[in-house]
Amino acid sequence: MNKLKSCFLSAVFALMLQAPLFAQGTVVDYYGQLSVKGNYIMSQYGDTVQLRGMSLFWSQWMGQYYTPEAIKWLRDDWKCTVVRAAMGVESGGYLTNPDAEKAKVIKVVDAAIALGIYVIIDYHSHEAHTNPEPAKKFFSEMAEKYGKYPNVFYEIYNEPLKEPNWSKDLKPYADTIIKAIRQYDPDNIVIVGTRQWSQMVNEAAQDKIKDPNTVYTLHYYATTHRKWLRDEAKRAMDNGIALFVSEYGTCEASGDGKLEYKETQLWYDFMDKYKISWCNWSVADKEETSAALKPGASGTGGWTDEQITESGKVVKKELLLKNTPIFALQRKPVKKAKAPKENKKK
């Protein structure tokens, strides 16, 4: 009898130790369905949301990191609340091998949903508006597949080049792709690229997309893009749009060169002030400054300090400092799938 009682008490004690895990839920449980209001991304419960995480590298060149294990490591060890799957489009990417590149993205999105973090489906292109049909097809498929999950963002155009016109070229492309997405997903947030490698956000702010759950992409590299680009961002926000820094680097715009500590911190301060979400470029072991990992780092996580680059250490420190408290927040978990809606296919 005493032995039975002892076993019972041990089982109860074990459950008590696990109880906080069940009560806490996940980041997506905490924030739920996101939406856009003015300059901000808002949670399902009215909180202002600032997500911070990592972007994967071009899928066709660094596909080894498109694994559930790597995504789990980024959540657990780096405290990422969002990851970005940068599906390469040109240069041997989706246009050449659609099934293979799409499969990599699906693997990342499925992992993020299972782990309870947010994920950006990024159409990583510099010329998408010149060939919109593949993008339309891709995002229709992604929206039909993932539209019921609150985890997903759709980044429909990574970095338009300098030459296109916002109102004549880029906005019509965005309207077309957003319409394709909204056939299946009426409310997950769309991230729209802006002219000149996603820097000219104030142009977009003066001719806004009508879709209410749209944010605009601002990309910077700290050594190259300084106060002038922060001023451009502030003008855009003053004109009423929300920004998402879906890609940034601590170095020069080439992805290489000098790591600029002071400007990196100034950008962190700016994004914190205005609650701008961000993803760092990138989870890669390429021999360049912006890569977070040193050559040979595993595709399944488990990276030691010796395997993380100087840029990776700077970014990871910021993630741990700012995101660790988020993982300690508690709220009753929400359903992972949104309620069915009439304009969605079942």
Could you give the residue numbers annotated as active site? 159, 247
DSSP string, 277-315: EEEEEEE---SSTT-SB-TT--TT----GGGB-HHHHHH
Cβ-proximal residues to 268 (8 Å cutoff; 6+ apart), any chain: 318
Classify residue 257 by its DSSP letter.
S
Residue type, 112: A
The end-to-end CA distance of the chain, in Å, is 54
**CA 292: distance to chain centroid?**
16
- Report the C-alpha gap between 20 and 69 in whole angstroms: 24
* H or E element at residue 120: strand 118-124
Structure tokens at 52: 């911070």
Classify residue 49 by its DSSP letter.
E
Check whether the bond before 91 is cis (ω within 30° of 0). Answer: no
Structure tokens at 313: 């250490």
- Report the C-alpha gap between 150 and 33 in whole angstroms: 5
- Report the C-alpha gap between 84 and 8 in whole angstroms: 45
Burial (CB < 10 A; 0-12, 13-18, 19+), residue 66, is: buried
